[in-house]
């Protein structure tokens, strides 16, 4: 077992968009459901306390997983949690959804 402290990678919006464009990536939105419904990264899954256990049990853990929150803080802990649960290619979006949408509106 790999005992590195950090087994995920922080990436910026440009890197995230490349990952989304070029790979079959699972996108996990860990914000609350209301925020998710107001706006989200296309094809993302809203993970909540109600469905995260099922997601971890059923997801392809070898597929790239991009995790984002509001500003890129909560996603760090979530990314580590996924890495600890056997996901091998986990990314946390720096700046979160706010950074993503501000980048998008240029």
Residue 3 pLDDT: 45
Q: Sheet containing 90-93: give its strands across.
A: 9-11, 90-93, 65-68, 26-29, 44-46
Each domain of the chain, given as residue ranges in start order, spans: 9-104
Model pLDDT, residue 2? 42
CATH topology of domain 9-104: Oxidized Rhodanese; domain 1 (3.40.250)
Distance CA 38, CA 61 (A): 28
Element (H, E) at 89: none
Is 38 buried (19+), middle (13-18) or exposed (0-12) by CB count in 10 A?
A: exposed
What does the pLDDT read at residue 89?
Answer: 96
| pLDDT less than 70: residues of the chain | 1-6, 104-106
From the candidates 67, 69, 79, 83, which is the catalytic residue?
A: 69
- 69 in catalytic set: yes
């Amino acid at each position: 077992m790999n005992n590195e402290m950090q087994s995920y990678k922080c990436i910026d919006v440009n890197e995230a968009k490349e990952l989304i464009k070029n790979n079959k990536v699972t996108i996990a939105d860990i914000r609350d459901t209301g925020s998710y419904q107001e706006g989200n990264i296309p094809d993302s899954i809203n993970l909540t306390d109600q469905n995260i256990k099922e997601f971890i049990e059923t997801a392809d853990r070898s597929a790239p997983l991009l995790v984002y929150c509001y500003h890129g803080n909560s996603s760090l802990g979530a990314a580590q949690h996924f890495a600890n649960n056997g996901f091998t290619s986990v990314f946390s979006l720096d700046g979160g959804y706010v950074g993503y949408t501000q980048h998008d509106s240029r």
